[in-house]
Amino acid sequence: MANTVINEFVPDYAVHPGEILEEVLEAQDISKGEFAERSGLTAKTISWIITGKNPVTSENAIVFERVLGISAQIWNNLDAEFRLFQARQKARNCLDDAVEWSEKFPLAQLVKRGVIPNTKDPKEKAAALLNFFRVKNPDAWMALYGNMSVAFYKSAAFKSNYEAVVTWLRLAEIKAELIQTEVYDPKKFKESLSQIRSLTDKEPQIFEPKMKELCQKSGVALVLVSELPGTHLSGATRWLTSDKAMIALSLRHKSNDHFWFTFYHEAGHILKHGKKDVYIDETTDKAATKQEQEANKFAAAFLVPESEYHDFVRNYPNPTKHHVSDFARSVGIAPGIIVGRLQHDKIVSFSWLNDLKVRFQLVENYKKGKGGK
């Protein structure tokens, strides 16, 4: 399912086939009584069809075809269009609650990204938002997405706007749903992570397609979705099915140390934790829960082997750019990742060695639903 607005003509009126029938009878100079007699229907039935009280059934459509020479398909289509129009009008009249509900969401951003139409009609926006989430009404949305808040708010430090977070997740889901993955295999995924680690010092145009391919072959859909206002998210993990996981990255912090740490942090959730929870990596407090701490340790150790790292810190308590570059080369990883680790551990100041980091830019073509760095 593509992340675009469905462009279709939805008329604001519909004509009951009974009106057309009356015009046809007049044009063919057939009285209602004669038509009833030819059709084997009662005059009352014909009258109720003409006045819109009765539908044109498939059986009647075939009779009309024989008597009037107008295809049964046309009569069926006219009746179906009229019934659909009535249903749309009824559904629209029930959107008052949905309008109030929709105002909690980042509608302007969804318009910008081509997800919902750029309209001033609040009911149209509310209906489009329901379509986006693939739910009938706000109650159905709450049943499907409301329980996610338990996973989000395990950390008291969680500060992002809930509706904005769920919207961002839905944008990621839509991208992930388009990715056909193999059945998830933890052994293959670990092997993929090792191969991906060797790409950290490459350019984005090299590592991005390769890491997505490796994830895909091990049962993980990797997607990049820029953050929404009201969120402080670096990434998220959730299982779309029992055989398919999703890692979503926002590239909130545009440096390569944050990018790679977040990716391996999310990978840690997939390998170490259950499939029912949604794991949100918010930048305010990554170590708020035991699971977050475990994912942090996994990412740190996978990226920079612990023994080598501690030896380096002991030997170079005040490392220079040259020291960091040599060490990064020896362990086969981008120097910026080493800098990020040293800064996090307060070995060096956050203002030091930043020229070894690489900056990325996430650019998304909202109209076509495509993204990349």
pLDDT at 231 (0 to 100): 85
Task: Give 156's pLDDT tier (boundaries 50, 70, 90).
Answer: very low
Look up the domain containing 351 and give its range: 149-372
232-to-173, 289, 314, 367 alpha-carbon distances in Å: 18, 17, 34, 24
CA distance 173 to 207: 22
- d(C-alpha 364, C-alpha 281), whole Å: 21
Q: Are residues 118 and 82 in the same domain?
A: no
> Is the domain of 185 the same as that of 213?
yes
**CA–CA dist 96, 117 (Å, integer):** 18
pLDDT for 324-349, tens place per residue? 999 999 999 999 999 999 999 999 99
Residue 4, pLDDT > 90, answer: no
Regarding whether 57 and 36 lie in a shared domain, the answer is yes
Predicted confidence band of residue 5 (pLDDT cuts 50, 70, 90) = very low
Q: Which residue has the higher pLDDT, 327 or 363?
A: 327
Q: Exposed (0-12), middle (13-18) or buried (19+): which is 351, by Cβ within 10 Å?
A: exposed
Residues 352 and 245 occupy one common structural domain: yes
Comparing C-alpha atoms, which of 6, 347, 345 is closest to residue 174? 6
Domain count, the chain: 3
9 found inside a domain = no
Angle at 203 between CA 192 and CA 354, to 5 degrees: 105
Identify whether residues 194 and 280 lie together within a single domain.
yes
Looking up tokens 């046309």 gives 74
Q: What is the Cβ-side half-sphere exposure of residue 33, based on CA atoms within 13 angstroms?
A: 0
Query: What separation, in Å, do the N-terminal and C-terminal C-alpha atoms of the chain show?
Result: 22
Mean pLDDT of the chain: 87
Beta-strand pair 233-241/363-365 = unpaired
**Do 194 and 240 have their domain in common?**
yes
Query: Could you tell me if 32 and 42 are in contact, meaning their C-beta atoms sit under 8 angstroms apart?
Result: no
| Reported pTM | 0.79
Parallel/antiparallel/unpaired status of strands 244-249 and 363-365: unpaired
Q: Is the domain of 243 the same as that of 275?
A: yes
- The confidence score (pLDDT) of residue 89 equals 77
Is pLDDT above 90 for 94?
no
Polymer length of the chain: 373
Query: Do 63 and 89 fall into the same domain?
Result: yes
Of 174 and 284, the one with more pLDDT: 174
Compute the distance between CA of residue 21 and CA of residue 8 in angstroms, rounded to an integer: 28
Domain match, 154 and 52 both:
no
- Domain annotation covers residue 88: yes
pLDDT value, residue 283: 58
Q: How many helices (H) and strands (E) does the chain have?
A: 18, 6
pLDDT of 280 reads 83
Is there a single domain that holds both residue 67 and residue 215?
no
| pLDDT score recorded for residue 278 | 84
Which pLDDT value is given to residue 3?
39
Tokens of 359: 């900056």
Buried b / exposed e over 121-152, threshold 16 CB at 10 Å, is: ebbbbbbbbbebbebebbeebeeebeebeebb
